[in-house]
A and B are shown apart, each in its own frame.
Chain A
Amino acid sequence: GEDVEQSLFLSVREGDSSVINCTYTDSSSTYLYWYKQEPGAGLQLLTYIFSNMDMKQDQRLTVLLNKKDKHLSLRIADTQTGDSAIYFCADPGGTGGGNKLTFGTGTQLKVEL
């Protein structure tokens, strides 16, 4: 089945940029998603990228997609303490925006003063 991998932990200083990486195995994905989970809370959709795009920028967030290498990244510019959370990439596979999201292992981002 689909496999989505992330590094488990990232620590950055406030004001620096954070880059969270994700690799996936299903090449039929139409979209790929990034979600944020704060402690004890559900998932918040941060952004998504169509598979025919290489890059998408949304304010402090930049998503890069390398389809050849099946590599997705999320860059957070000017990282703030409020960005501390767990970040999940998610792949819906060939169903586009629809069913059966496969989540990455999650990357815990810690922002230090």
Chain B
Amino acid sequence: GAVVSQHPSRVICKSGTSVKIECRSLDFQATTMFWYRQFPKQSLMLMATSNEGSKATYEQGVEKDKFLINHASLTLSTLTVTSAHPEDSSFYICSAQRAQETQYFGPGTRLLVL
């Protein structure tokens, strides 16, 4: 149990375009989902926390207009990188949590902006 998927696993896009990444909890309902960003050989940086049906809470320094998060259901959250630029290239990882239990992580999405 507690499987989290992400789609796509890899995406290459042109500068200026928007990219949507999906995070799904496959076998449980996630009251909270988290979005992280990881640079090469670095730790995970929390970008935002989203609760189903409410606005996401962004960490300091993360632009909410740049990284749009929608948590429309208890099994799906999406992260949209708007007007992507090369500096947005990174590994994006989501996690899902049921109540106050452990976070379960998705496999990550590698974004490359050309």
Which A positions have Cβ atoms within 8 angstroms of B?
Answer: 33, 35, 40-45, 48, 88, 95-101, 103-106, 108
Contact = CB atoms under 8 A, between A and B. Distances in A.
Contact of A48 (B41, B102, B110): B102
Contact of B106 (A42, A45, A101): A42
Contact of A95 (B44, B46, B100, B106): B100
Contact of B93 (A42, A99, A105): A42
Nearest to B9: A40
Contacts of B34: 99, 101
B100 A97 contact: yes
A108 B40 CA distance: 12
A97 B102 contact: yes
A49 B42 CA distance: 24
Interface string B88-114: 000001010100111111111010000
Contacts of A42: 4, 6, 93, 105-108
A87 to B, nearest CB: 11
Interface SS of chain B: helix, strand, loop or mixed?
strand
> Which 7 pairs, one residue from A and one from B, show the smallest C-beta to C-beta distance?
A43-B105, A98-B100, A42-B107, A42-B105, A42-B108, A103-B43, A103-B44
Nearest to B10: A40
B49 A99 contact: yes
Contact of B100 (A88, A96, A108): A96
A40 B110 contact: yes
B53 to A, nearest CB: 17
Contact of B104 (A41, A45, A88, A106): A45
